Structure 1
């Protein structure tokens, strides 16, 4: 089969060059086109907001009312959360600060906060402080390491002292151990990137449905919503491009097979059945198409992804491995289906007819 392919490539160099280039260019265009429309569709989910946080303010709300609410909301939010900040009102002179990370249903340290803490003595919160609900705090320089401090009648141990720009009387603890009766002043959801409409709605709906007018969630508009293309258009154009690539490939293979009559005659004379000839031709098509599709995807990944991001400045993970695999599979499937029909039609011709056509050429 590979010898046949080699001979065929020598005899039809230009056609094979056009075939390979068209498939490579087609794959690059298809994936790039997907990225463009996915970018537009992604912008349909963007809020008209320039900061990476959504802040809520409360009136007459306790920490006990929002602990589980924060947890369930974090679970619904699809974007990457940097941390959740809550300010609690207690019997201390100043509010207690609570910085929370979230992972797999559990609160934990917020890495951006932990990395920027200036602990001059002692330590910051650790995993066991969350899992064991340890009554510990990190405080400003007005306090001493190891001292006890009472918050709403509960005794907490100071495990760390912060320096630098931190307020001298600042007190921080974990959301697991702050008393439920503490007042909730505000909560801020901080994101790694700009929050989406879906995540904003999850936060807004969850808190407003439970707390009503005791919570204030700022309103945001959808950015450029009227000028963006719908997902149906993305699917339609992607399918059209995929079919165009497949049809182009089918036509080129049709030309090759029609001009390969002598090889087909030889295979028939030596006893190759129509099915065997079909398998030989389809193996050639499958191998070439697989190689060109892989080359096209590699070219897109190594060269044109950077061009795309320079144009659109996109923060979304549009070109994931899943995107490439699905796109390649769809195009490969279209090519195999259409070219199978081409090869089947060509192989229906009897040897006598092939000889007659060859003699007439």
Structure 2
């Protein structure tokens, strides 16, 4: 063993700066540093700026765990979702994170497969990670059918599904949006409207299908057989090939814009003019809808409003407030573009 190794002194780890260090550096009291760390407003702005500058210079980080023990809050919410692949989920998550940040909350996201064990496991993990509440974003009908039950403890808000008897729900008014789409095509003079629905186990798809059927029946129109897709462009294309081969199809309502895009391709390949021979309406009004050919008439969903409302509802429950509204519905808007027109003259 070398001489240097024998005489080497153990290296001391550098002590993290404390609140007292910041107070001395900024020439203020530790109480003032505490107020700045906790975001309180009863601090002079010049003093606040000096304290923040000292924090940054010293590399001081407020102890979030200690603050949580004192206040009973972690200022963190969890989000559980089945998929990040759909436009709706991604836009809703964007709304959730934006609103949470504005309220000084962080977000822990867990994406899981749609199974009972996965949901229960994700909920348990979030409980262990010290969040104040949970937003659940999934389409399947699991909570209302008793397939999944969550243990008591954390406040929960559900998006795009049914919350069962305990949990408030935030959703787009799926039924009204699909009714508007169907009504629009009937008002143009089409005898009936065909429908490419989403997956049969999807909460949103079930409501859109029910609204389409109810609207046709209310007007005394024939209800054509439903074709189920998978929310994907390719599934819309496969359904579109079937519909394009039928001369009696003059209007189609697709349950989302991706399936509408596949339908448009199938109609073009079959030589069916849109909207001269067949009118098409989608749902979601994604940014690309106006770039389709022709530009797509679609039902606009305000995903940001849904995400923001979910966070507001959850924060109310975290603050101990009672659930004022069992279900909160965000209204839709029909955006009419060039993919819809009166039916061809026979």
- Give the alignment's TM-score, normalised by structure 2: 0.24
Q: Which has the larger Rg?
A: 1
- Give the alignment's TM-score, normalised by structure 1: 0.23
**Going by fraction, where is helix more abundant, 1 or 2?**
1
Higher relative contact order (CA 8 A, sep 6+): 1
